[in-house]
A and B are shown apart, each in its own frame.
Chain A
Amino acid sequence: MSGKKRQQWGSKLGIILAVAGSAIGLGNFLRFPVQAAQNGGGAFMIPYFVSFLLLGIPLMWIEWTLGRLGGGFGHGTGPGIFHTMWQKNRFIKYFGVIGIFGPIAIFIYYTYVESWLLGYTFFAMTGKYAAATTQGAMQDFLSGYQGIKTNDYFSGIGSAYIFFVITFAMNIAVVYYGIKGGIEKLCNWAMPVLLICGILIAVRVLTLGTPDIARPDWNLKNGLGFLWNPDFKALKNAKVWMAAAGQIFFTLSVGIGVILTYASYLKKNDDVVLSGLTAASTNEFAEVILGGSIVIPAAYVFFGPQQITSIANSGSFNLGFVTMPLIFEKIPLGAFFATLWFLLLFLAGITSSVSLAQPAVAFLEDEFDLSRKESVSIFSVVCFVLCQPAIFFLANGVVDELDFWGGTFCLVLFGTIEAILFSWVFGIDKAWSEMHTGADINIPKFYKFIIKYITPLFLIAILGSWFVQQGIPVISMRNVPPENAKFVILTRIMLLGMFLLLAILVRIIWSRKKQEENV
């Protein structure tokens, strides 16, 4: 541990908004409504809230507590924090590498997707896609922008690349200014703006009524019905329960490693219980109330019952970049609301991506004793290079592959390790007392049982079921077209190289620490 003073948050509200900003992302507005509509509608909310109480909230508290504990020992990332908790085990720090590797793997494609949102905010303001009035034309616009095909809208990937460079530079600038001067400042204004944009769009959608009198069935009430009408038979299906648990897991940003790093900048007696709950409930507001009121009801009202199912199944990107712009073209002041929509998603994106950058920067600062300037410089050069495959080989499955390993596999695995380490290795009694240090509210006692038994078991069940359902087909490349196989393999080699490099860095630093102790 170096003698360098670690950064700190400026206020309690600052870290709450930063954690909520990290959690609120595209999934809140695009993934949740589709998951709910496909998995029992209103009845989906039963397993969803059960998962929130048994999985989401406990993991949130675990990560906040572990982060604050590690920060006290000068560690802000997985390797140092895990080693602090289980010093006798010399391998545990390598499992902690997942908490740096996962965020980098997500960052290198997420910033590119985020840059599309900045681009579309600009296009919505300038009316660039106004000529595209059908699903096909809007899809063409998106493909042209991504450089997948050349058409009347775009002659190459140039525009997308410019917006990417701007977005990347914005992310680096925020991280460069540090926790208080960069991330906290950004979230302090971006989060209220994001919520206001979301409320304005939700109110607009909820007051749509029946816009086309010739089609009385295409109305808001039926749109809400498509999303919320309960199908109780779905509750007998284990897949629905797993879908709800997965949604809670992914929406709260737990298991990535970013909350560990954010919480490591807390003071020893800062509250983690109320703060964690506040960040989680803010995320739920954005997801259930705003996310559930925008995309699906609006798509139903303008595309009707025949097309809504195929739209819901078309994937998050299609909903956000194809369906929603078309919907805004059909309503008064559409350009204004479309600008708000993309701005909302861009803010949701940037408050998440800066959090993904911080663990790697914190690792270099804390463990290698580098200055913030040096750490951010190294991070930005390495990540800028790593981003290129996601940009130029988007159509070849590179982003899907990065999303699978960084955004799914690592999350579930890291979350499971954290939960077991916290309750069983560190010890639930010690953990419970650590959690309550400086706490502004008391956690009900039965949560001790939940954190010790239910949460780890729930996570192991998710890990197992997810591995069988999605893991095996993806790992064995069952659905990869032959022409994409080499790109997928090269992406895996790149990821493996990244992981090994991080593991070697951990080995070097701990050997050095051991030598220093012996001198």
Chain B
Amino acid sequence: MIFSGWLFLIMSWLMIIFIMIFCIARVLGDKENNK
């Protein structure tokens, strides 16, 4: 079997990691709400 699904794997991973980091950074950065 040849692994031809790289594009889907990498795109899915990147998209999720990007959204997750963006959200967590915003949540952690909001000190007032995080008391």
Contact = CB atoms under 8 A, between A and B. Distances in A.
A142 B13 CA distance: 34
A440 B30 contact: yes
A417 interface: no
A12 B11 CA distance: 29
Given A11-B35, A49-B15, A288-B16, A278 B8 contact: no
Given A42-B9, A288-B16, A289-B13, A224 B3 contact: yes
Interface string B1-24: 111111111011101110110011
Contacts of B13: 288-289
Nearest to A438: B33
B35 to A, nearest CB: 7
A274 B3 contact: no
Which of B9, B11, B15, B24 has the most chain A CB atoms closer than 10 A to its own CB?
Answer: B9
Nearest to B29: A440
Contact of A45 (B8, B20, B35): B8
A305 B3 CA distance: 13
A28 to B, nearest CB: 12
* Centre residue among B15, B24, B30, B33 by max chain A CB count within 10 A: B33
A376 B25 CA distance: 36
Determine which residue in A16, A275, A278 has the highest number of CB atoms from chain B within 10 A of its CB, and name it: A278
B27 A12 contact: yes
State which size class the interface on B falls in. Answer: 20 to 34
B8 to A, nearest CB: 3
Contacts of A221: 3
Contact of B5 (A12, A225, A277): A225
A441 B23 CA distance: 10
B27 A284 contact: no
Interface residues of A, number: 35
A139 interface: no
Nearest to A278: B23
Nearest to B9: A228
A227 B1 CA distance: 11
Contact of A13 (B5, B15, B27): B27
Contacts of A282: 20, 24
Contacts of A292: 9, 12
Contacts of A43: 8
Contacts of A284: 16, 19-20
Given A225-B2, A226-B1, A230-B8, A274 B26 contact: yes
A277 B27 CA distance: 11
Contact of B17 (A285, A305, A441): A285
Nearest to B18: A281
A221 B16 CA distance: 22
B26 A440 contact: yes
A339 to B, nearest CB: 27
A277 B8 contact: no
Interface string A27-46: 00000000000000111010
Given A45-B12, A224-B9, A274 B1 contact: no
Contacts of B23: 274, 277-278, 281
B12 A13 contact: no
A42 B2 CA distance: 13
B5 A41 contact: yes
Contact of B33 (A271, A277, A281): A271
A228 B3 contact: yes
A285 B27 CA distance: 17
Nearest to B35: A11
A230 B4 contact: yes
Nearest to A48: B12
B1 A305 contact: yes
B16 A285 contact: yes
Interface of A: 11-13, 16, 41-43, 45, 49, 217, 221-222, 224-230, 270-271, 274-275, 277-278, 281-282, 284-285, 288-289, 292, 305, 440-441
18 contacts: A13-B27, A42-B8, A45-B11, A49-B12, A217-B1, A222-B3, A228-B3, A229-B2, A230-B5, A274-B27, A278-B27, A281-B20, A281-B23, A285-B16, A285-B20, A288-B16, A289-B13, A292-B9
Given A12-B27, A45-B12, A274-B23, 16 more contacts: A11-B35, A41-B8, A45-B11, A222-B1, A222-B3, A225-B1, A226-B1, A229-B5, A271-B33, A277-B23, A282-B24, A284-B20, A285-B17, A289-B13, A440-B27, A441-B26
